[in-house]
Chains A and B, each alone.
Chain A
Amino acid sequence: MSRPIQVTVFFFHTLEKITGRKRLRIKAQKGQKVADLLKHLYQIHPELQRHDQALLIAVNESYVRRSIALQDGDEVALLPPVSGG
């Protein structure tokens, strides 16, 4: 049986408004991918799923693909499309 890990999810800008929170600590199984985490988050906050196509994901402040495996202590950021400048 795989060891549980804990990750912290951060919600930014419109996503913070949708979820009503800035961060969320989540227990996951080692080897779970970003995509698995997203599915889990969509169960907690179904309205997030409407933004799925546009979501950018960062782990520990670097953009990642949804296929990467999560590690214990990872900081996962859900980012809506950026609009700086």
Chain B
Amino acid sequence: MKWRCCRRSAEDKNVKPKITVMLTKRKLSPARLLQRCKPESCTGAVATFTGVVRGKENGQRIEALQYSGYESMAKKQLNEVVSAAAQRWPLHAVFLAHRVGRVKTGEAAVFLAVEAGHRKEAFAACKWIIDRLKKVVPLWKEVEQ
């Protein structure tokens, strides 16, 4: 599928996208992280994605996932992915956090919030960022059963 970029409105042109990315060993609380979003006055949409550790995969019970990575490169890649999204769509802010270390079933492994003027670009960028993350960010998970 080819994404089409949205045109920047006059309001969007005055907004420099605020980008925050992090790798953390600490538990992610999507509700608390969302409170950190301080939308611009012209922001009309905040799309979020939370990736949660499944309790079952292919009939096998999962206790936790162990995430490891090439952390310095992973941070650089997260920044590059988000910056590329901000070039494609008129975004106001992006917050992206990924866990490293042991993440128990039911816990969030990744949290992404994308702020934009309208839902179309917020949803599109949100999906694109998470898809891209899964392809290029050097992080790996191992199943703990």
Binding site for B on A (CB under 8 A): 10, 12-14, 56, 58, 61-63, 77, 79-80, 82-85
Contact = CB atoms under 8 A, between A and B. Distances in A.
B46 to A, nearest CB: 20
Interface string B86-105: 00000000000010000000
Interface of B: 51, 67-70, 72-74, 76, 98, 109-110, 130, 133-141
Q: Looking at chain B's contact residues, is the secondary structure mostly helix, strand, loop, or mixed?
A: mixed
A22 to B, nearest CB: 11
A85 B134 contact: yes
18 contacts: A10-B70, A13-B140, A58-B70, A58-B138, A62-B73, A63-B136, A79-B70, A82-B138, A83-B134, A83-B139, A84-B74, A84-B98, A84-B110, A84-B133, A84-B138, A84-B139, A85-B51, A85-B110
B72 A61 contact: yes
A31 to B, nearest CB: 25
A70 B80 CA distance: 23
Contacts of B69: 12, 84
Given A13-B140, A61-B72, A84-B138, 17 more contacts: A12-B68, A12-B140, A58-B138, A61-B70, A62-B73, A63-B136, A77-B70, A79-B70, A82-B140, A83-B140, A84-B67, A84-B110, A84-B134, A84-B141, A85-B109, A85-B133, A85-B134
B68 to A, nearest CB: 6
A18 B133 CA distance: 25
A81 B68 CA distance: 13
A84 B137 contact: yes
Contacts of A63: 136
Given A12-B70, A61-B76, A79 B138 contact: yes
B72 A82 contact: no
A82 B135 contact: yes
Nearest to A14: B140
The 7 residue pairs across chains A and B that have the minimum distance between CB atoms: A84-B139, A61-B73, A13-B140, A85-B134, A84-B137, A83-B140, A83-B141
